[in-house]
Amino acid sequence: MMDLQTRKIEFIQEFLKLQSEEVISQFENLLKKKSTKEKSITKPMSIKELNSRIDKSEADFTNGKFKTSSQLLAKYK
């Protein structure tokens, strides 16, 4: 199995051989999506945001706006 650095170099070498603008655009879009997703995942919530989410979740539960684990499991069977 190759290490990550070797895989990156091989990927770049193959990428440089590409001649299709469409394929390059697809790679660009994939990279942008991945980069955006990683940034949003790594940004921590503030205490205020966390407390707001907790309050909303508790209100939803109190108002019956929830699904049981059995309901969720049945949905994905």
What are the pLDDT digits (tens) for 53-62? Answer: 999 999 999 9
- Average pLDDT for residues 39-65, to the nearest whole number? 88
The three-class DSSP label of residue 15 is helix
- Cα atoms found within 13 Å of the Cα of residue 15, Cβ hemisphere only: 11
Each as own residue / partner, the long-range contacts of residues 33-42 (CB below 8 Å, 24 or more positions apart, any chain) are none
Predicted pLDDT of residue 25: 92
Mean per-residue pLDDT of the chain: 88
User: Greater confidence, 37 or 18?
Assistant: 18
- Global confidence as pTM: 0.43
Instruction: pLDDT band for 35, please (50, 70, 90 cuts).
Output: confident
How far is the C-alpha of 71 from the C-alpha of 77, rounded, in Å? 10
